[in-house]
Structure 1
Amino acid sequence: MTQLQFTLDMEDLKEMVMSSNMEAVVRSSIVLILNEYMEKERDAYMQADHYERSGERQDYRNGYYERAYTLNIGKVELRVPRTRSGEFSPTIFEKYARMDQAFMISMLEMVIHGVSTRKVTHIVEQLCGERVSKSFVSSLTEKLDPIVNAWADRPLNTVYYPYVFADAMYTKVREHHKVVSKAIYIMTAIREDGRREILGLHVDHSESFESWFTCFEKLKSRGLQSPKLIISDAHQGLQKAIQRAFIGTSWQRCNVHFKRNILDRAPKKEAHEFRRMVKRIFEAVTIEDTRQFKQECMEKFADQPKYDKALQLLDEGFDDTIQYMTEPEHIRIHIRSTNSLERLNQEVRRRERVIRVFPNTQSAFRLVGAVLMHYQETIYDKRQSLTK
């Protein structure tokens, strides 16, 4: 590496010390050092002094230009030397470009972790003495687009996913000068080796058969093979989409949602025995006991009209809700409900609530995708396999 020797104009520095406060002295000193360093770098690059005729000359000096630069002490104005060819570039910008990049990543991390753009601008101002606009922070987050898009489109044909979870949540998006609700579809899975993985997401106008079918077709185009079970709530469009997209795949109705729906249809008072018997059905260890407990419950309350709606729902949805009982015992607790996916949705909601209203659909996709990627890396990837 070339060693550069240079001296500073001590008279200028002395004047600054005598007439300025220490903050101004520090900033001015740094400007003097950086300007002198860049000047000497250009001299070394030129391989010729001013007006010197030399066969080793690389280029010709071409004055200076002013450049504002933000450091950890705030913004400074530098006098950057340039050459006629334009090929010379001071090395200090390479160093501080890396610092800038780290700073930008930090701002992105704040946004992903649920810090509003307004708060991010305030934090930057406190750290650097330099205010950035909310629009700048918003435009900065667009740098996430290729990263999130690549993650959302990654191949799924390298491993088998026997159990897939599907659910949708709603968020507010500004569209054509109006605030509308958009459905965010999130799909996760348990791999054949027992590890959890977030498969992807999709944003659409509403939760419907067409939208769910589009989601599943997208997963298939990325290489997803037909799973054994798809676990979800009882949305009719979702059920139809599963039947259409995955031949031979069974639908597991969320155990928790199903029990809640049954108990909601039961009387609010004097139903302790009914509630106990319903819970016992889904706590059974064998599928034979599950069926027996269900039959006992049906027979015990069959002659009480106030339980008719609850018993009808129990009878109609029972088989779809015990699909998990045909799977190995160690995995049943993990696939009988969508609780794991709902916990993930809550984490997304916690970050999304800070935004309140997304400026457009792409921004919703970007932030939710970034949150899901972060959750995968920090939570799912660090957990042990469910088979262990």
Structure 2
Amino acid sequence: MNEKIDSDRPAVAPVEPSSVTERLVDGAGAIDPGLIDRLLRQSQGRDLLGEGGLVQQFTKQLLETALDTELTDHLGYDRGDPVGRGSGNSRNGTTPKRVHTDVGTVDIEVPRDRNGTFEPAIVAKGQRRLEGFNDRIIALYGRGMTVRDIQAHLAEIYDVEVSPDLISKVTAAVLDDAKAWQTRPLEPVYAAIYLDAISCKVRDNGVVARKSAYIAIGVDRDGYRDILGVWIGQAEGAKFWLKIVNELANRGVADVLFVCVDGLKGLPEAIESVWPQAIVQTCVVHLVRASSRYANWKERKTISSMMAEIYRAPNEAAAADALDRLDQRYGTRFPAMIKVWRDAWDRFVPMLDYPPEIRRVLYTTNMVESVNFQLRKITRNRGHFPHDDALFKLLYLGVRNITGKWRSKGKPGPGTHGWKEAINQFELFFPGRLDQG
């Protein structure tokens, strides 16, 4: 590393390659604390993490030592060993190389062999960024930072200058993973699937237009929830949803007990054409939100309480009475609010035929709302996306972050509260259907 060091400030003593493996780790395989103490004493107050600091110097020496060890293994003899004479291949100096790491940019010397057959593994030929560095870029991108934001962040935190094109290439590498995730096999049966969409701006044929990101979330037979896929299409429509439902079926979903939707016209018929036994249920959260937008803000609390009497009613007749009471009190002032409920009535009432244990699975959609909130948050930073793949790539990384937190707890996803009670009721009303496959 080209660095000037003040004469009155001693540099870190170099670590001999031959002794690194003996002195770096202790018997348990952990870094030897004695080595760390010696390095810190010799640093005498030098910057640890900054440009040219102790961590960067140690990273440089460690990489160079590892590369030298790789070359020794490739040649079959140690540096200076007489065995190498007449072997047909030997060391042939070094080549300077600059690599980007999580601790900043590090200049290293890569050893060469005379025959040019040495293929290093730790820093491969043509590799300019260590794996952790790429992961850092992808993590920043997946949290909604723009390419320019990432560029500025890396320069400020790691003192690394990277081009926007490089960042785009790194993040583009996740598309293959995203497509594999989007086509992975699914469970043969789900207790419930929620279908929803969020709106995003995408450039299409030179014009920025609103497109929908369609999202499917399933509750499996064990009560765990998972994001089944994300699709980019034009404004939300039943025709596109039919394509999605067919795709889910092609990925192995043979049956669904309930499908919760937002009331889009034509969507229930599309679902029933693929899963004939499925009960299509208008999502209560969507219904409450869609109707409440027509009401006076000051009276939302009272209105919400009266709406709860509708979807918590013991049966359809009681729910109809609760809707009539809401109509009598607010129908004249907010007729559009009542109309939303009347229009959706036939697709809202199916869940009223089932006990509270099943209903809670259907109208407790906090997780769905949480997923939508997090995906909207990372897309909101962009004015628009240059193409569909750019939006899909970001949404996939967002989904990966969300599901990664779920799986970090050792489970396939968040569980459904009261699932043991619910699955007993599912078995009573839909005997054997959750046992398929």
Query: TM-score when scaled to structure 2?
Result: 0.69
Indicate if the aligned counterparts of 2:101 and 2:132 stay in contact, CA closer than 8 A. Answer: no
Q: What is residue 378 of structure 1 aligned with on the other side?
A: 405
Q: Distance in 2 between matches of 1:114 and 1:100?
A: 23
Q: 1:166, CA displacement in angstroms?
A: 0.7
Quick one: which amino acid aligns to residue 364 of structure 1?
A: L
Q: Distance in 1 between matches of 2:250 and 2:301?
A: 49
Q: Deviations over 1:228-276 (max 9, x none)?
A: 2211112114334223333232221122333455566679999999886
Matched, 1:193 2:207: no
Q: From the superposition, tell whether residues 98 and 317 of structure 1 become closer, same or farther in structure 2 (CA, over 3 Å).
A: same
Q: From the superposition, tell whether residues 314 and 154 of structure 1 become closer, same or farther in structure 2 (CA, over 3 Å).
A: same
Q: Give SS of 1:93's match.
A: coil
Q: Which residues in structure 2 correspond to 1:272-283 (within 5 Å)?
A: 278-283=307-312
Q: What is residue 367 of structure 1 aligned with on the other side?
A: 394
Given the alignment, which residue of 179, 204, 220 partners 2:233? 204
State the identity as a percent: 22
Q: Distance in 2 between matches of 1:121 and 1:272?
A: 46
Q: Distance in 2 between matches of 1:139 and 1:265?
A: 46
Q: Distance in 2 between matches of 1:335 and 1:28?
A: 57
Q: 1:288, CA displacement in angstroms?
A: 4.7
Q: From the superposition, tell whether residues 80 and 236 of structure 1 become closer, same or farther in structure 2 (CA, over 3 Å).
A: same
Q: Which residues in structure 2 correspond to 1:170-319 (within 5 Å)?
A: 170-262=199-291, 278-294=307-323, 313-319=340-346
Matched, 1:168 2:201: no
Given the alignment, which residue of 129, 132, 137 partners 1:107? 137
Indicate if the aligned counterparts of 2:256 and 2:278 stay in contact, CA closer than 8 A. Answer: yes
Q: What is residue 358 of structure 1 aligned with on the other side?
A: 385
Where does structure 2 lack aligned partners over 5 or more consecutive residues? 1-16, 21-45, 421-437
Q: From the superposition, tell whether residues 276 and 161 of structure 1 become closer, same or farther in structure 2 (CA, over 3 Å).
A: closer
Q: Distance in 1 between matches of 2:119 and 2:297?
A: 77
Q: Distance in 1 between matches of 2:236 and 2:395?
A: 17
Q: Give SS of 2:185's match.
A: coil
Larger Rg, first or second structure (1 or 2): 1
Q: Distance in 1 between matches of 2:137 and 2:298?
A: 53
Moved more, 196-205 or 265-274: 265-274
Q: Give SS of 1:67's match.
A: strand
Q: 1:309, CA displacement in angstroms?
A: 6.0
Indicate if the aligned counterparts of 2:84 and 2:90 stay in contact, CA closer than 8 A. Answer: no
Indicate if the aligned counterparts of 1:186 and 1:200 stay in contact, CA closer than 8 A. Answer: yes
Q: Give SS of 2:228's match.
A: strand
Indicate if the aligned counterparts of 1:173 and 1:179 stay in contact, CA closer than 8 A. Answer: yes
Q: What is residue 118 of structure 1 aligned with on the other side?
A: 148
Q: From the superposition, tell whether residues 211 and 329 of structure 1 become closer, same or farther in structure 2 (CA, over 3 Å).
A: same
Q: Give SS of 2:166's match.
A: helix
CA RMSD of aligned residues (A): 4.2
Given the alignment, which residue of 360, 366, 376 partners 1:333? 360
Q: What is residue 139 of structure 1 aligned with on the other side?
A: 169
Given the alignment, which residue of 357, 369, 372 partners 1:342? 369
Q: What is residue 33 of structure 2 aligned with on the other side?
A: none
Moved more, 245-254 or 259-268: 259-268
Q: What is residue 12 of structure 2 aligned with on the other side?
A: none
Q: Distance in 2 between matches of 1:68 and 1:271?
A: 61
Q: Distance in 2 between matches of 1:110 and 1:86?
A: 38
Moved more, 263-272 or 351-360: 263-272
Q: Deviations over 1:205-247 (max 9, x none)?
A: 2222221111111101001123122111121143342233332
Moved more, 329-338 or 316-325: 329-338
Q: 1:60, CA displacement in angstroms?
A: 4.3
Q: Deviations over 1:87-113 (max 9, x none)?
A: 22457637xx89921222122112112
Quick one: which amino acid aligns to residue 187 of structure 2?
A: N
Q: Distance in 2 between matches of 1:232 and 1:110?
A: 33
Indicate if the aligned counterparts of 1:186 and 1:201 stay in contact, CA closer than 8 A. Answer: yes
Quick one: which amino acid aligns to residue 200 of structure 1?
A: G
Query: TM-score when scaled to structure 1?
Result: 0.77
Indicate if the aligned counterparts of 1:170 and 1:183 stay in contact, CA closer than 8 A. Answer: yes
Q: From the superposition, tell whether residues 330 and 65 of structure 1 become closer, same or farther in structure 2 (CA, over 3 Å).
A: same
Q: From the superposition, tell whether residues 210 and 352 of structure 1 become closer, same or farther in structure 2 (CA, over 3 Å).
A: same
Q: From the superposition, tell whether residues 212 and 60 of structure 1 become closer, same or farther in structure 2 (CA, over 3 Å).
A: same
Indicate if the aligned counterparts of 1:116 and 1:355 stay in contact, CA closer than 8 A. Answer: yes
